[in-house]
Each structure stands twice: as C-alpha cells, then as structure tokens.
A and B are shown apart, each in its own frame.
Chain A
C-alpha cells in the first residue's frame, strides 16, 4: 500500500513537471489565443533558450549569480529572435491560409534545429543547479529538492503576474481584445501589427525562459524541441486553446496523470500524452475552460 510520503513525493513531482510545462505552454497558448496559430517553433525557442543559457554560463563562468543572469539573458535573446521572425517573416503570412502559417512554423523548426546543431554540435550539454538552490528539504518523509520547490512556486507566481497584467494593464486589455475581435480593434485605430509582434515577443520570452530554467534538471540535447512541443500542445488542448487559466489547469492535470499514471499503467507511458489528447478532443474539444470554437 503506498504510504503518505510516497504519495506526497509523487504529487510534488507532478507539480514540478506541471509548472515547467505551464511556463512553456503559456507562450503557446498566448500565441494561439491572439494570433490564432499553433506555433510549432515554440519548442525550438525553448531549446534555443536552453542552449543560450548554457552558452552564457560558459562565458560568465560559475559565479553565484551567473545562472540567473544566463537565464534572463537567454530568455531575452530568444524573445528578440521571436520578434525578428514575426516582424520580418511571419507578418507576411497573416492574410494567407492557416496551413501556410502552420507550415512556416514547421519550417522554422527544421531551420533553427539545424542552426542549433551547427553551433553547439550533437554532444549533450548540462548545467548545474544554481548554488543557492542546490540542496533539498525533507518534508513528510520525502526528499524535495529546493530547485523543484522554486519551480513549483514560480509557476503560480508567473500565472498571477500574467493574470494581473491581462486584467489590469492597458496592454493586457488590448491583448484580450485582440483575442476576441481583431478586426474591430484595428478599426479602432490600434496598431494591431505591433500588438502581434509584442505578443510573439512575450511568448518567445516565456518559451526561452522555460528552456533556460529547465537546464539544471535535464540534459540539453538535440531533439528536445520536438519532445516538449507535443506535451505543450496536450496541456493547451486539455485546458482549452486560448484560455490562460485553462493552460494552468491543463498543466496541473497532465502533471498528476504522468506521475500517478505509471503506477496504474506501468508500461504505457508512451501512450499517455496522445491518449489524453485524443480523449479531450473527442469528448470536449474546446478543453476544460476554453470557448467552443467552431
């Protein structure tokens, strides 16, 4: 019979995974909500964030703050890249069919993936946890690493910060308006193109940040872009494409399913993502908190 400390440890693992996914998926959700396009390249921005963080740490050396500077620097670099891609390439596809926009993001995956391979090669890279957060605490008989706790707290912090920004600031209101009715917004004189660029930059920042922050917990390898994009999709679909809190909820659910799923269906974790995605799309396609989009 599973004892309390085991259940507690398992649910915290689920929470950590969930918060990472939320960080990454929130950018995906934002782009879909406002630009109405599923950005396949979001996983690539995540990967570039990881590689960039590694590179910056390499330049700065191992000081107490170098990880945090690297994480921020990486996120900003990826945000810049996202902005440039959107402004000079993606914008030209806005009038065209959705399929073209989707395929363009896929082309980015191909191109940027190979660029990363050109720069950093195929050997795995690894970053250590930052000095301040390298220990662990013992709670209810389970060992909880400090870094995991940091991520668990960061997730809701970002969610709340976001929510506040969307509800209370002007930019936030514009974003929400654009998600509802972009034509009217344009007619009202708002520079919708600049808004779109801004949204893309913000989403890329989040993706890059997610990649940078995950480096203490995972190896940086080629192929990490395609791994994460599918998981991010599932999270967004469960929660509801375009719904912000939906993504948060979707991440929470997915994290726990992963954690406890291996206890009930030990050798079927290969199915879990897609079975879950299929189930949600069949039963309730607009997700838990999304708007029925026909």
Chain B
C-alpha cells in the first residue's frame, strides 16, 4: 500500500477531497516526526507506540595506529505494538 492509496481511501472514507486528505496526512506525519525528534514516544491509539532513540556510540579499530576511533551513534527506531494489535496479529497468524 502506498501513500496515494492511503490518501484515496481516507478521502473516500471521510468524504473529503484527496487534496484535503493529503494535507491532513502531512500534518499528522509532521506532528509525529516533530515529537520523535524530541525523543518522545508517539502512541498511535489501538496500534502501537513509535520511538526513536540514539543508539550506543560506536567505535572502530584502526589497525595502523592500533587505536579505537569513536564513531557517531545511529538512530534506532522502535515500534511497539499495543495489546489489541498483538491480539489481532496472533489471530491472523492462526488463520
């Protein structure tokens, strides 16, 4: 499923124009990423929680100088499904 499909379905379901749906979706995503940047967990109701966290600082070994060189940490993203989603997934797997 792609963005366009999401937008079309949204527009049909909420009886708004695709243009409006696209704009609201942008709002939504902007709001989510804004909070993720602050290191907060965004909880999507009945779906799951989305978190971004800085990973461990990495290091690499320089064989020439026999020293460890520090590297910047990566960002790790976590999606934790909520109970209801977990139940649905389990049910789905069972079918």
Bound pair: A and B?
no
Q: Interface of A with B (CB < 8 Å)? A: none
